[in-house]
Amino acid sequence: MLKLTARQEQILNLIKDAIENTGFPPTRAEIATELGFRSVNAAEEHLQALARKGVIELSPGISRGIRLCDARDQMRSQHSRDAQMTLPHARLMQLSLPLVGRVAAGSPILALEHIEATYQVDPSLFSSKPDFLLKVRGMSMRDAGILDGDLLAVKKADSVKNGQIIVARLGDDVTVKRYRKTGALIELLPENSDFVPIKIKPDDDDFALEGLAVGLLRSWV
């Protein structure tokens, strides 16, 4: 791996922190805002430089499509032809994930009647191994880069941290929001000023945590 500049180290650490804290890499706009760049183009140029140096991979057409490379990835980038001879067939390395569409009230999210399709996907696209894909409906998470029609990769979880993006069940609805808990009060925060936060009281039996967002796919459907 080539030596990184101080700015590149800063951006790499920002990416690592975002993935650790929220399960998602940052957007170009978030990087630009955090580091005081005048435009997202400056962030993109630094990301391209990091990709050329083998520390990240950029996935075109995928929102937040930044993946950290480990030492083995970097070694493979230097010896790619030899490595390809020893890798399993690409299809054998893929995950088979069910795509969940509309969810009927009161039934498990992975019930057979909710599964619209099954996709073979590259596990390296996600911050951790997902259990299913959820088709996003609406634009309440627009400013987090999650748009109507996107496929959200979700890992089932019993607990989450403040600031993470989650999938929750609210009575008859399944929603994607950013999680925040203050004392006993849970708030589900949108990433679009046209929407208001949803407040969950301690005695609200309609709320159930379905999972943690660990990645996003776009242009699949």
Q: What are phi and psi of 207, to 5 degrees?
A: -90, 135
Residue ranges of domains in the chain, CATH in brackets: 6-86 (1.10.10.10), 92-217 (2.10.109.10)
Q: Nearest Cα to 24, choosing from 130, 136, 181, 164?
A: 164
Hunting for tokens 């795509």 — which residue is that?
A: 99
The pLDDT of 25-32, averaged and rounded, is 86
What is the structure's pLDDT at 180?
A: 94
**How buried is residue 85: exposed, middle or buried, by Cβ count under 10 Å (0-12/13-18/19+)?**
exposed
Threshold 0.85, pTM exceeds = no
The pLDDT of 152-180, averaged and rounded, is 91
Catalytic site includes residue 177 = yes
Side chain identity at residue 166, one-letter code? I
DSSP code of residue 125: G
Structure tokens at 30: 């978030």
pLDDT tens figures, 49-86 = 999 988 888 877 666 778 887 644 444 444 443 333 33
Catalytic residue chosen out of the listed positions 53, 63, 127, 140: 140
Catalytic site includes residue 181 = no
64 conformational bin, left if phi > 0, alpha if psi -120 to 50, beta if neither: left
- Percentage of the residues of the chain whose pLDDT score is greater than 70: 84
- Answer yes or no: are the C-beta atoms of 155 and 212 closer than 8 Å: yes
Residue 22 confidence class, pLDDT cut points 50, 70, 90: confident
